[in-house]
Amino acid sequence: MYGLMPECSLEMPDSYYGLDDYEKGVARWCSGCGDHAVLSAVQRMCREKQLPPEKTVFVSGIGCSSRFPHYMDTYGFHGLHGRAFPVACGVKFRRPDLNVFVVTGDGDCCSIGAGHWVHGVRYNMDITVLLFDNEIYGMTKKQTSPTSPLGTKSNTHPTGSVLPPVDILQTTLGLSNVSFVAQTTDWVPGHLYATIKKAHEHPGFAFVKIMMRCPKFMQDLVDQHTSNRDLYSLLEHDDGIQVDPATSQLFENKVKHDPSNIHNARELLENGKSWYLGLLYQNQEAIRYDLYGSQNLGFSTDQKMEALETELDKFAI
């Protein structure tokens, strides 16, 4: 018997987006920079999810990673330093139908943009956030960033930085209305891809910290991070990030962690024994401000018009 399996169809979809529908230009990052790996993973994810390029927006601030929107053939906004979150929230608030991504760096998010980071998490709009953490200001040629390890020698601290770094994950987990926190690295492609996909599927503000290589200015750190596999632990759970068997085999240490348990997530990070890769926390029930906005902030259109007329009538002569 020849013929089609019942689940097969020869019908062609109206349109199919290939990788080249998301690619634009030649990325001007240094050779070996981790940013290239994230760009590739995001483009693959867009293709798998068939995100229409005209319905997709990448918003960034300033820094090496913030050049990201230039290399996506979607809409993009390469904005001001630290201001990616309010721009992205504005886009999502008025256009809930769009797929909105934020690309930011450790300096952009955790220093000048820290206030917006706090409220971006709290507003919990349906936005995927990719924080590229290379622990240095790379674009401006090696200054200490908020996440540089203590003692990092840089142009601003030639004898070594003197303040302990900001703990991005603990800080985010401590913010009110947090709904999704994950960690991955640019040098484990299978895990990177699966994490970005899971983040995009999350209905809310999905915050992903990506441990990032900056071979230009942080080669020692890159060597330390990439050559010691026993420093890492893979978080495993049915509700967590699912990786393929080949990726799973790369990890010598595996830890069971239920991502609904925020206290356990904090304890894991506090013990400081390992770098945990995977989904630390997810709460799909957290309040979403973008949904509130799409309901006209609780007012009907008529009520809004009436309130506006009342205010304008105060100026009537």
Contacting positions for ligand SF4 (CB under 6 A): 29-30, 33, 35, 64, 134, 138-139, 214-217
- The DSSP H or E segment spanning 304 is helix 301-313
Nearer to ligand SF4, 77 or 217 (CB): 217
Nearer to ligand SF4, 63 or 240 (CB): 63
Nearer to ligand SF4, 177 or 226 (CB): 226
Nearer to ligand SF4, 134 or 148 (CB): 134
Nearer to ligand SF4, 222 or 234 (CB): 222
Closest by CA position to 226, among listed 32, 31, 28, 30: 32
Q: How far is the CB of 101 from ligand SF4 (least distance, A)?
A: 19
* Strand order across the 253-256 sheet: 75-78, 56-60, 99-105, 127-133, 206-211, 180-185, 275-282, 232-236, 253-256
**Is residue 171 helix, strand or coil?**
helix
Q: How far is the CB of 263 from ligand SF4 (least distance, A)?
A: 34
* HSE-up (13 A, CA, CB side) for residue 171: 18
Q: How far is the CB of 220 from ligand SF4 (least distance, A)?
A: 13
* HSE-up (13 A, CA, CB side) for residue 213: 23
- 8-state DSSP, 266: H
Angle of helix 189-201 versus helix 35-49 axis, rounded to 10: 50
Q: How far is the CB of 247 from ligand SF4 (least distance, A)?
A: 24
Nearer to ligand SF4, 139 or 175 (CB): 139
CA torsion, ordered 117, 118, 120, 121, to nearest 10 deg:
110
Q: How far is the CB of 134 from ligand SF4 (least distance, A)?
A: 5
Q: How far is the CB of 66 from ligand SF4 (least distance, A)?
A: 10
